[in-house]
Structure 1
Amino acid sequence: MKYGDSHLFSPARISPNGRSRAKKGDCPRISSCFRGAFLAFPLALFLLPAGCGRRKLSSDELERNRLFAEILKREDRRTLGEDDFFPRNLHFSTHPEVRQWCAVALGRIGNRRALPWLYNALHSSYASVRAAAAFAVGEIEDRETLKEEFLRVDPRAASELVAALDDPSIQVRMRAVEALGKAGSPSDSVEIIRRLHALPYEGSPVEQTYLRLAITALTRLRDPSAVPALEKLAESPDPEIQWRCANGLYGLRARKARSTFLRLLRSYNPDVRAHAARGAGICEAPDLADALIPLISLHDPDSGKPNSLGVRASAVEALGNLRNPGAIPAIRKALQEAPIVRANPEQVNFAVQAAAALGNIGAPEGKDALVPLTRIQGPAAVSAVIALAKLSRGNATFFDLVRLEDFTTEAARRAAAQALGEVGGPEAVRRLKLMLIQAASERATAAEIRAVPAAVEALARIGVEDLQTIVEPYLASHDGVILRAAIKAYKPPPRRKAPWKPLVEAYQRMAPGWDLEAKVSALSALQPWLSEQDVQAVLRSALGDRQRNARVAALSLLRKAGATDVPDDPGPSESATTDITYSILAVSRQNRTVATLETERGNIEIELYREDAPLTTANFISLARGDFFNGLSFMRVVPYYVIQGGDPRNDMEGGPGYTIRCEINMRAYEKGSVGMALSGKDTGGSQFFITLSPQPRLDGGFTCFGRVISGMQAAQSMTAGDKILKVRIEEDHTLFDYRRY
């Protein structure tokens, strides 16, 4: 899930009330990575008192609000501070919830200096604090994150978490097993499996939650020895345990679990069938196609019962992964069962998945099913043209089958460029270069300009001889998305003198608060030349970059280069958020807030988690009240997974012109959960997603800041390109003593 934008911040575009006047699709980049995040917050949130109750808060409530605000401030700025605020309040606060807030904040800040404090908190007299401490250890010692930063997991982390698996409180055991999945090693799966055997299939709700978290942890540890345990657990009569085990086996790429997947495919429960179908697709057994084919029809041929879209989409995806050409007639028939029109969103979304599956199968017989799809305007055509290109590699007959001139929308032009990269050959190269020429014209449309990254990537895929001549001018682009595409495509010839120089210059041209992802991309692309003094010099200069993520990237690369004289911590993040704003967020954290998304498919009501994600929800509220989301589309729709929107560029690369901090919390991603889309830690902005089914793999990885309380049917009916008309915010102000501020 990507984020980025392309323009420098212009103060003239900010209205007196602090809201951007930028047009839709125009994403101003501001001078600090977070400076714009709360430009509208003080003014927008100062409107709160007008509808608030005026009960005077007790001294105890005021003190907790003060501490919450201070914790939030430090968390936002990713700093522990130079004092003893955190260890003092974590261990000695008279308010258990303050201790809990401290633990969660330490996990989000991510400074490993806090680990001893958290290990100590694992022995707190309060179970809620012990649970939060375990969660935080998993956040700080997440092995995937540490691996990216060329750091090793603290050996003590796993031993402390294993000990916490025997805590008397099941709430603590739940968070310990979840954290062990992040911070542990494959060998730690033995400890989880041993405890799984002691859990009843039909336990209390909290025991069931523990069981679910344990399954997810085993999946994350990627220990093949966990496969038999999950297969055994999948024999449970509980459908939820069955699908979670199937999901875990899929995550472990358990190809030998063929018989388990086959058995679960016969379940009456659609969730079990959907996950079993996806798992069957990894088994490298083409004969499994016979069991999957009945699941792609609108109705099961044997029982006559309808197949859900989740089952159909998962089954057709699996058929594509099995690459059995014998499935093509059945896929073609399933596409013809209902009209693929906007009024029938389920069939549109199925067609998108079916087209991709036909491309993956790779057999020429699939062309007959794909060509008609390319003539249907919308997401099905976008998917079909790419799939058809895969079946036509090196074959110029592709241009006789498809009229690329009809692909004029932004999404369609990007798909056309990607398709040309798949086809290859002189005609494809000619057309791609023509796309770049058209985009350079003064009369170029937004669709033409935003297709440039896809065209550059396509030319790189083809491997044209003059690629570097094409790419290097784009290394000076002021569009961060184009620049990132150029950096990715940059492959200097072997004998070039100082081949790293264009990348260094690209980084040095970027203003202090410029496109964060472009900075990180430029620095990361220097990896092949880490031994060069010039490269190490620019990496050391980047340790002073105003944007923290750029400092993290530079620090990681210097570690990889073997540097020992570098700081352990990249330092705090910049923030223009004022103390008054943190205080307002603290006192309004318990206000019940509902965001209503008025869409072309109906209304979706979302309850926002103000206390779990105060910065994220405040950002969402501010954008909504500034009409930011009006007219934007859900540009990404994946059946049975997510719908994603909030991008003014409509290509999953755009945002509001700033980034906000992640607020990873203990909320599970159930059906209807709302999360922030990211391309890395602390890269959220305006893009958000709604889950269409439970997604345990997202837990603890993306900020969960709300849940759908009404209108899930509208969310499930969404197709790529459907628009958000307006977002309304309704807030129940319960505790706000404005006389204190």
Structure 2
Amino acid sequence: MMRPSALLPLALPALLAACTTARVPQNAAALNQFAADTTLRRIATAQDQRQTAALRPFLQSPKVRYRQAAASAFGSVQDKAALPDLLGALSDAAPEVRQAAAFALGQTADSAAAAPLANQINTETDARVRRTQLEALGKCVGKGSVALLLRVPANPGADTLATIGQAWGLYRAGLRGITSETSVRRAVSLLARQQPLEARLAAAQTLARTPRLDLTAYEAPVATAATSDPSYAVRAGATAALGKVKTPGLAATLASILRRDTDYRVRVAALRAMNASMYVPVKEAAWAALDDANAQVAVTAAEFFLNHASGETGQLFRDKAERMNSWRARSVLFAAALKHASAEEKEPIRKAIQQRYAGAAANPYEQAFLLKALGEDPGAYAFIEQATFAPKQPAVVSTYGIEALVALRNNPAFPAGQQPLFIQTLEKAIASNDVALIGTAAGALHDAKLNLRNEYRNLDLLRQAQQRIVLPRDVEAWQALQQALDFLESKATPTPTPSAAAQHPIDWKLVAGIPAGQRAVVHTSKGDVVLRLLVEEAPGSVASFVQLVHQGFYNGKNFHRVVPNFVAQGGCPRGDGWGGTDYTLRSEFADRQYAEGAVGLASAGKDTESCQWFITHSPTPHLDGRYTIFAVVERGMEVVHRIDIGDQIRSVELQKP
């Protein structure tokens, strides 16, 4: 079902009209800022509709709050045509307006903003604004201008915000691969204990996430931060960065962190930093981690063996799998058993997994993971295909099944004689009415590594499937099909997604009734989690969430995705991540970071948000400005850390003010 038409553009006189004040009820303290201020609603509507021309006049408003709101709105619009307007706002008399303008400039990621931002930093008098300007500068600099970030004095004295801003600027540049040896040295120096926590966190993230770094020369300071920083988040980031060190002694350091750190997120980071070259000296620590009290560590340890084990028998991993209490870790170990099995071992291991699959009918998520495990053995192709296309199969089982079949085709041991069978499987999936089957099969067709241009030519089948797609609900499948068509036809320019797939006006009547401090209690099978909804930062997203709560939409849904030390994600009506509502939302980006317990909306790209949401286990700043944050966890993070795939959202209720 297509979503409602967008509102007509607002007339300029209406946009410039003075605020209309509504009758204020006695509990006015609970109202959000939009309830009685129609001008703020106009600004937010212009932001939602991506109307640059409508927002521009508000930057000249006599009221600071409107200038600030308009500047901040451009952080979601992300229109480079607004660059001159935002650069002008950097000189606004009000620091909050200058700060909002700097954030919005960073969101445009326009290299033309780098030099003006750097110049403004030199004259900025407000420390908070300067911090935001420095981070925005990191989003705009290029390889030739990264030195602009290093002009801040190495020891800025009492101005710790300048240090923090520079650290985040280096991080934002590093995410895009923009770095230098001087930048790396500065990031390493910011790991020192005397630096502010935010600067240490940004530095650790910079070193962990900047691609293609060799940190061998900095092993000592990075290891010191990984083993002794008082913040788990800094230790985890620095531990991840140790994965870029190439010395024989690193294995012992990582094994020690895995055995001794008290925070499971750091132990997960240690396992992920380990690689195949250090398998022998770390395997005993990783083996012990399979019995870690925290299930996320056990799963990550199993993944380590799946990806990096060498010289082991498949029977070793099968025996350990049979003794595991956690079905998820057990499934991954079964995958390791198949991957590392000898030719003689494969058949009995495969049969054991198939028997386990038959006995796990009560848990479709376990069945799904067992199909994923079978994806390590081309001999399981027929079994997986039968399970994938079985009538009335739970969506998550079919989804993991088609993914396993694609994984088998990528396996170097996949028999050449079975390749025509794989094409038939893809056609069967594309001809189905299941969006996950269609989308995953289409994804295989545009996989450059598989390079199926010469093997698959039934383009009409792809076009017919695309015509059956319901937009905007199934935009991900539509995109996969179009990418497949573009690839198979060797198109140089990608075909854009239809703009009609992202039109859903904000329900202002509903927003007006949501208190500024509205709480929502998520009752899960592991306990309660209390969210504080950020209606003033993301009114459209919060209104959609509240409406779905009123409808009981989330009752009985599952957490279908849990990535250790990253996110727990749920709210999918299909239970596999491919489901959505019959409308999509516009992205709403505020100047807020993904800290531990941030609640964001999942999406398939900008302006494609729907009903799925996730909670972060720890700071995940690479999501900042890319995924809407509509709530934060106020109580119950200990529950979030226990949630695993398949756990249930029993109900969600809004607390009365």
- TM-score for the superposition, normalised by structure 1: 0.75
Q: 1:507 aligns with which of 466, 469, 474?
A: 466
Contact 1:460 1:489 in 2 (8 A): no
Letter matched to residue 258 of structure 1:
E
Q: Distance in 2 between matches of 1:293 and 1:195?
A: 38
Q: From the superposition, tell whether residues 691 and 574 of structure 1 become closer, same or farther in structure 2 (CA, over 3 Å).
A: closer
Residue 224 of structure 1 pairs with residue 180 of structure 2:
yes
Q: 1:249 aligns with which of 191, 207, 210?
A: 207
Partner of 1:191: 148
Q: Distance in 1 between matches of 2:295 and 2:313?
A: 18
Q: Distance in 2 between matches of 1:670 and 1:615?
A: 22
Contact 2:566 2:620 in 1 (8 A): yes
Q: Distance in 2 between matches of 1:688 and 1:493?
A: 34
Residue 261 of structure 1 pairs with residue 186 of structure 2:
no
Following TM superposition, by how much is the alpha carbon of 1:471 offset from its aligned partner in structure 2, in angstroms?
0.9
Residue 53 of structure 1 pairs with residue 26 of structure 2:
yes
Q: Distance in 2 between matches of 1:410 and 1:34?
A: 38
Q: From the superposition, tell whether residues 452 and 266 of structure 1 become closer, same or farther in structure 2 (CA, over 3 Å).
A: closer
- Give 3-state SS (helix, strand or coil) of 1:707's partner: strand
Q: Deviations over 1:530-567 (max 9, x none)?
A: 667xx98x95xx78x4535xxxxxxxxxxxxxxxxxxx
- Give 3-state SS (helix, strand or coil) of 1:186's partner: coil
Residue 31 of structure 1 pairs with residue 17 of structure 2:
no
Residue 124 of structure 1 pairs with residue 92 of structure 2:
yes
Following TM superposition, by how much is the alpha carbon of 1:610 offset from its aligned partner in structure 2, in angstroms?
1.0
Partner of 1:362: 309
Q: Distance in 2 between matches of 1:168 and 1:199?
A: 14
Alignment of 1:294-313 (within 5 A): 294-297=256-259, 300=260, 307-313=262-268
Partner of 1:708: 633
Q: From the superposition, tell whether residues 497 and 373 of structure 1 become closer, same or farther in structure 2 (CA, over 3 Å).
A: closer
Contact 1:432 1:459 in 2 (8 A): no
Following TM superposition, by how much is the alpha carbon of 1:288 offset from its aligned partner in structure 2, in angstroms?
1.0
Partner of 1:470: 425
Q: 1:281 aligns with which of 243, 252, 259?
A: 243
Following TM superposition, by how much is the alpha carbon of 1:277 offset from its aligned partner in structure 2, in angstroms?
2.1
Q: Distance in 1 between matches of 2:4 and 2:336?
A: 38
Q: Distance in 2 between matches of 1:501 and 1:681?
A: 29
Residue 170 of structure 1 pairs with residue 170 of structure 2:
no
Unmatched segments (≥5 aa) in structure 2? 7-21
Alignment of 1:80-229 (within 5 A): 80=52, 84-90=53-59, 92-141=60-109, 153=110, 155-166=111-122, 167-195=124-152, 197-200=154-157, 203=159, 206-207=161-162, 209-222=164-177, 223-225=179-181, 226-229=183-186
Q: Deviations over 1:599-639 (max 9, x none)?
A: 23322211111101111111122222222222223333333
- Give 3-state SS (helix, strand or coil) of 2:367's partner: helix
Q: From the superposition, tell whether residues 293 and 33 of structure 1 become closer, same or farther in structure 2 (CA, over 3 Å).
A: farther
Partner of 1:10: none
Contact 2:474 2:579 in 1 (8 A): no
Q: From the superposition, tell whether residues 358 and 676 of structure 1 become closer, same or farther in structure 2 (CA, over 3 Å).
A: same
Q: From the superposition, tell whether residues 422 and 284 of structure 1 become closer, same or farther in structure 2 (CA, over 3 Å).
A: farther
Q: 1:65 aligns with which of 23, 28, 37?
A: 37
Q: Distance in 2 between matches of 1:218 and 1:495?
A: 40
Alignment of 1:369-408 (within 5 A): 369=317, 371-373=319-321, 376-392=325-341, 397=346, 399-400=348-349, 402-407=352-357, 408=360
Partner of 2:290: 335
Partner of 1:74: 46
Contact 2:557 2:649 in 1 (8 A): yes
Partner of 1:582: 508
Contact 1:599 1:723 in 2 (8 A): yes
- Give 3-state SS (helix, strand or coil) of 2:274's partner: helix
Partner of 2:371: 417
Contact 1:678 1:684 in 2 (8 A): yes
Q: Distance in 2 between matches of 1:214 and 1:196?
A: 14
Alignment of 1:436-475 (within 5 A): 436-437=388-389, 439=390, 441=391, 443-446=392-395, 448-462=397-411, 464-466=418-420, 467-475=422-430
Residue 622 of structure 1 pairs with residue 547 of structure 2:
yes
Residue 352 of structure 1 pairs with residue 323 of structure 2:
no
Letter matched to residue 156 of structure 2:
L
Q: Deviations over 1:702-739 (max 9, x none)?
A: 2122222222222223233222222121253xxxxxxx
Letter matched to residue 439 of structure 2:
R
Residue 291 of structure 1 pairs with residue 291 of structure 2:
no
Letter matched to residue 175 of structure 1:
T
Letter matched to residue 600 of structure 2:
G
Q: Deviations over 1:668-691 (max 9, x none)?
A: 222222222223112222222222
Q: Distance in 2 between matches of 1:282 and 1:106?
A: 37
Moved more, 352-361 or 64-73: 64-73
Moved more, 189-198 or 613-622: 189-198
Unmatched segments (≥5 aa) in structure 1? 1-29, 36-48, 142-152, 301-305, 339-345, 549-572, 733-741
Partner of 2:16: none
- Give 3-state SS (helix, strand or coil) of 1:525's partner: helix
Alignment of 1:584-663 (within 5 A): 584-585=510-511, 587-588=512-513, 591-663=516-588
Q: 1:519 aligns with which of 465, 468, 478?
A: 478
Following TM superposition, by how much is the alpha carbon of 1:494 offset from its aligned partner in structure 2, in angstroms?
5.2
Q: Distance in 2 between matches of 1:359 and 1:524?
A: 31
Q: From the superposition, tell whether residues 663 and 387 of structure 1 become closer, same or farther in structure 2 (CA, over 3 Å).
A: farther
Residue 234 of structure 1 pairs with residue 206 of structure 2:
no
Residue 685 of structure 1 pairs with residue 610 of structure 2:
yes
Letter matched to residue 165 of structure 1:
I
Q: Distance in 2 between matches of 1:274 and 1:497?
A: 45
- Give 3-state SS (helix, strand or coil) of 1:324's partner: helix
Letter matched to residue 372 of structure 1:
K
- TM-score for the superposition, normalised by structure 2: 0.84
Moved more, 489-498 or 600-609: 489-498
Q: Deviations over 1:634-693 (max 9, x none)?
A: 333333332222223332333334322211111122222222222311222222222222
Following TM superposition, by how much is the alpha carbon of 1:350 offset from its aligned partner in structure 2, in angstroms?
1.4
RCO (CA 8 Å, sep 6+): is it higher in 1 or 2? Answer: 1
Following TM superposition, by how much is the alpha carbon of 1:258 offset from its aligned partner in structure 2, in angstroms?
2.4
Contact 2:552 2:651 in 1 (8 A): yes
Following TM superposition, by how much is the alpha carbon of 1:209 offset from its aligned partner in structure 2, in angstroms?
4.5
Q: Distance in 1 between matches of 2:313 and 2:397?
A: 30
Partner of 1:486: 441
